[in-house]
A and B are shown apart, each in its own frame.
Chain A
Amino acid sequence: MPEVTRPRRSAGRAGGDPADGGRIGSGPGRLLVTLYAVFAVGATSRSAYQIATRFEEAPLPYALSAVAAVVYCAITVALVRGGEAARRTALAGCVAELAGVLVVGTWSVFDPEAFPDTTVWSAYGMGYLFIPLVLPVVGLLWLRRSPAS
């Protein structure tokens, strides 16, 4: 069973090989890029629409949605670009994202009146199957595991 004796050859190539260093957007990173791109597009279009049409109804959630959108876009771009600087940007983005989902999640649970409408990060991303909570953790693990050199 060659699959067992040589597991995840491709993942290794994308991960630790110095010749391929900094290619954080390939291998498992490709899946990560896709998910971040989905959230970047979703959060950006959603917050742009909400801010353009009815910002005064729920200014705080919509502003926070915009912040989330910026973070998702930054991480997506960083993962696609690759390289050491981009890896640091992506790391910072994932930390900001994790902090955001924890802070906004807790805030939305304890002070629901401040949130007449939901954000991506409300209730720890429950409306999005908790992916906003899981994604930064996976992202941090992946970026730690694949140093640029």
Chain B
Amino acid sequence: MFTPLTVAVAVAALALAAWCGLAAYRNEPTKDWHFAGMAVVTLLALAQLVVGVVRLAGGAEADDGTVVFVSYLVGCACAIPAVAFLSLSERTRWGSATVAAGAVVLAVLQVRLYDIWGGAGA
């Protein structure tokens, strides 16, 4: 699809996971700055969704099929907002741990997304 963006999302997600993991370790809930970080990662994932759909509209095809590819793109875009809401209603260290877990999941999804699009041939 667009490998630099995939890498950027994965790295940003792992950074967010480390940051929120640190907050959980320090027994802190997510704070405003954490939510700013989540917004940045979500924007990257949304940009990825747009780029992916534009590439598909331009005639490109994902190796594993359009349905799977778009599902993963949508899943990536929803992952961080979902855990952000969960951490809003869980104002403890476990809210931070939840965001960290969601961010790790997003990073793993990036690896799958890369494979689904066609790996090195992207």
Asked whether A30 and B67 contact (CB < 8 A) given A3-B27, A38-B105, the answer is no
Asked whether A8 and B27 contact (CB < 8 A) given A34-B86, A38-B105, A45-B71, the answer is yes
A11 touches B67 (CB 8 A): no
A31 touches B97 (CB 8 A): yes
Chain B count of residues within 8 A CB distance of the other chain: 17
User: Which residues from B are CB-within-8-Å of A33?
Assistant: 86
A49 touches B27 (CB 8 A): no
The 0/1 profile, CB within 8 Å of B marked 1, for residues 31-49 of chain A is 1011100100100010001
B75 touches A31 (CB 8 A): no
Q: Which residues 14-61 of A sit at the B interface, judged by CB distance below 8 A? A: 14, 26-31, 33-35, 38, 41, 45, 49
A49 touches B67 (CB 8 A): yes
Q: Is B23 interfacial (CB 8 A cutoff)?
A: no
Identify A30's interface contact among B68, B71, B86, B105, CB under 8 A. Answer: B86
B94 touches A11 (CB 8 A): yes
User: Which residues from B are CB-within-8-Å of A31?
Assistant: 94, 97-98, 101
B83 touches A34 (CB 8 A): yes
Chain A count of residues within 8 A CB distance of the other chain: 18
Tell me the nearest residue of chain A to B27, going by C-beta: A3
User: Which residues from B are CB-within-8-Å of A28?
Assistant: 94, 97
User: A interface, by DSSP: helix, strand, loop or mixed?
Assistant: helix
User: Which residues from A are CB-within-8-Å of B52?
Assistant: none
B83 touches A11 (CB 8 A): no
Identify B92's interface contact among A3, A10, A35, CB under 8 A. Answer: A10
User: Which residues from B are CB-within-8-Å of A41?
Assistant: 75
Q: What is the bound-complex CA distance between A30 and B105, given in angstroms?
A: 16
* Closest 6 A/B residue pairs (Cβ): A10-B92, A30-B90, A34-B98, A31-B97, A30-B94, A31-B98
New A-B pairs, 19, CB < 8 Å, besides A11-B93, A35-B101, A49-B71: A8-B27, A10-B93, A10-B94, A11-B94, A14-B92, A27-B92, A28-B94, A30-B86, A30-B90, A30-B94, A31-B94, A31-B97, A33-B86, A34-B83, A34-B86, A34-B102, A38-B105, A49-B67, A49-B68
Q: Which B residues are within 8 Å of any A CB, using their own CB?
A: 27, 67-68, 71, 75, 83, 86, 90, 92-95, 97-98, 101-102, 105
Q: Which A residues are within 8 Å of any B CB, using their own CB?
A: 3, 8, 10-11, 14, 26-31, 33-35, 38, 41, 45, 49
